[in-house]
Structure 1
Amino acid sequence: MTQPNLNPNSPFFHEERHISLAPFVEKQITICGAGALGGNLTETLARMGFMRIKLIDKDRVEMRNLSTQPYSRAEVGAPKARALANTFYRAVQTKIEPVVVELTVANAQALLQKSDLVVDAFDNRAGRAAISETTRTQRIPCLHIGFSANGLYGNGLWEPQYQVPQEVPGDPCDYPLTRPFALMMASLAARTIIDFFRSGQRTNFEFTWRDLTITHL
């Protein structure tokens, strides 16, 4: 049984049954990184109904990305940000603004300004540091998400509690369960983002894949 006044032909029908996103679907969300975390989070937010997403990533789709990220073989070689912008406009008419550049200290302020929320999903220390410094200085809400090189541990931390991690060897995307881990992280981040827009609450979280333990901090 559906709630009254709901449109069963809406692409966001299931979200509308449980919670109205209407008050904040026009918020400007800037996602930095379109890999296993950023790419899957972008898909999640687009399909939930968020309509204004800026996606910053300099990389192009590679064959090795297809097992963990929301791309197809036809998109190999294409800029990741543009590929997702095309995919989700066709799917649900979300207008993703693709920005195919490397985010640095020099351009971070220009790229992140006017954001209602920045999500850092980069996999490199320099990019994360530039985002952290800029969002703190400009007082832009920022959520950092990431997971360990062995693919067993992940977290989401808000500024100003975030500390830029040191570079460590290893690639978490080499871990066999990277995709389900990344999808879980994207789901937790999406829930955290909704809580932030609804109430202003900034909830940090940790997730341990080994024992499926989720802790809200």
Structure 2
Amino acid sequence: MSQHNLNPQSPFFHEERHATLAPYVGQLITICGAGTLGANLGETLARMGFTRLRVIDKDRIEARNLSGQPYSRAEVGAPKARALANLLYRAVQTRVEPQAIELTASNASQLLAGSVLVIDAFDNAPSRAIVSQTTRDAGLPCLHIGFSPDGLYGNGIWEPNYQIPQYIPGDPCDYPLTRPLALALTSLAARAITDYLRHGQTHHFELTWSDLKIHYHPQI
């Protein structure tokens, strides 16, 4: 889009000035997980102008989620996927396809079908393994994002380089800086997503919170 064709009344005016995403915003992106990373990433993509999102999550909102996830107290008890769909439609009229069910080995192919890109933001190894295997089998591009239980490290790894992480006890939701870390990671993920869609490039990234060191590098 040329500069003189920009609409200053568009809610995405600033994004359009920097780099148009118009050819890509209508393509289906599926986000697996609507927790701290998935929900914040979904909100970021919607506010960037992406209009077709599918969100898969079986969980319901708990009061403890409110410190790191973009939900309200009034939504406690509601399915996360549906609450996120309502939130993003009210905010910028992005139409999210909510799938408030558990992703399993038997339904994963159907749930991920039609996606131009899959984002794995699940918080458990079994679900991550299913997403990894399903996207590999189907030849779907997939970016896995996650952070450590101590809330001090996070990364994004593209298939086929992804390896299922070992279980480490702990709950990052108990860490007071979880939301700032999550927002930094989802910003890096959004950059990686747009680089993939616009240029066909896949970039891994990692962030260490203690020294705010960021590595963003092409997949080899």
TM range, normalised to the smaller chain? over 0.9
2:43 corresponds to 1:43: yes
Q: AA paired with 1:142?
A: C
Secondary structure at the counterpart of residue 204 of structure 1: strand
Instruction: Name the CA distance, whole Å, in 2 between partners of 1:126 and 1:103.
Output: 10
Listed one character per residue, the Cα deviations across residues 155-203 of structure 1 (whole Å, up to 9, x for unaligned) are 0000000001122110111111000000000000000000000111010
CA shift digits 1:46-68 (9 cap, x unpaired):
00000000000001111111110
Q: How far off is 1:130 after superposition?
A: 0.2
How far apart are the structure 1 equivalents of 2:148 and 2:91? 32
Letter in 2 for 1:120: D
Cross-structure match for 1:154? 154
Which secondary structure state, in structure 1, belongs to the residue aligned with residue 84 of structure 2?
helix
Q: The residue matched to 1:26 in structure 2 has which SS? A: coil
Are the equivalent residues in 2 in contact too, given 1:29–1:119 (CA < 8 A)?
yes
Q: In structure 1, what is the Cα distance between the partners aligned to 2:77 and 2:9?
A: 35
Identity among equivalent pairs (%) = 68
1:175 maps to which residue? 175
RMSD: 1.0
Counterpart in the other structure of 1:57: 57
| Equivalent residues of 1:61, 1:76 under 8 A apart | yes
Matches within 5 A, 1:28-177: 28-177=28-177
How many correspondences in the alignment?
216
If the length of structure 1 is used for normalisation, what is the TM-score?
Answer: 0.98
Counterpart Cα distance in 1 of 2:5 and 2:138: 41
* Aligned mates of 2:7, 2:216 — CA distance in 1: 34
Matched position secondary structure for 2:91: helix
Please state whether the residue corresponding to 2:207 is helix, strand or coil.
Answer: strand
Whole-angstrom distance in 2 between the partners of 1:78 and 1:171: 22
Gaps of at least 5 residues in structure 1 are none
Distance 2:77 2:171 in 1: 21
Do the aligned residues in 2 keep the contact of 1:104 with 1:126 (CA within 8 Å)?
no
Map of 2:205 onto structure 1: 205
Counterpart amino acid of residue 212 in structure 1: L
In structure 2, give the amino acid aligned to 1:31: I
Name the counterpart of 2:17.
17
Alignment of 1:186 with 2:186, yes or no, is yes
**1:4 to partner: Cα distance:** 2.0
Show CA shifts across 1:15-61 (max 9, x none).
11111010100111000001110010000000000000000000111
1:55-89 Cα shifts (integer Å, max 9, x gaps): 00001111111110000011111111101111111
Which residue identity lines up with residue 36 of structure 2 in the other structure? A
Partner Cα separation in structure 2 for residue 104 and residue 180 of structure 1: 31
Structure 1 runs of 4+ off > 6 angstroms?
A: none
Q: CA deviation at 1:99?
A: 0.2
Deviation at 1:135, TM superposition (A): 0.3
Other structure's SS at 1:182 match:
helix
Structure-2 separation of matches of 1:62 and 1:179: 16
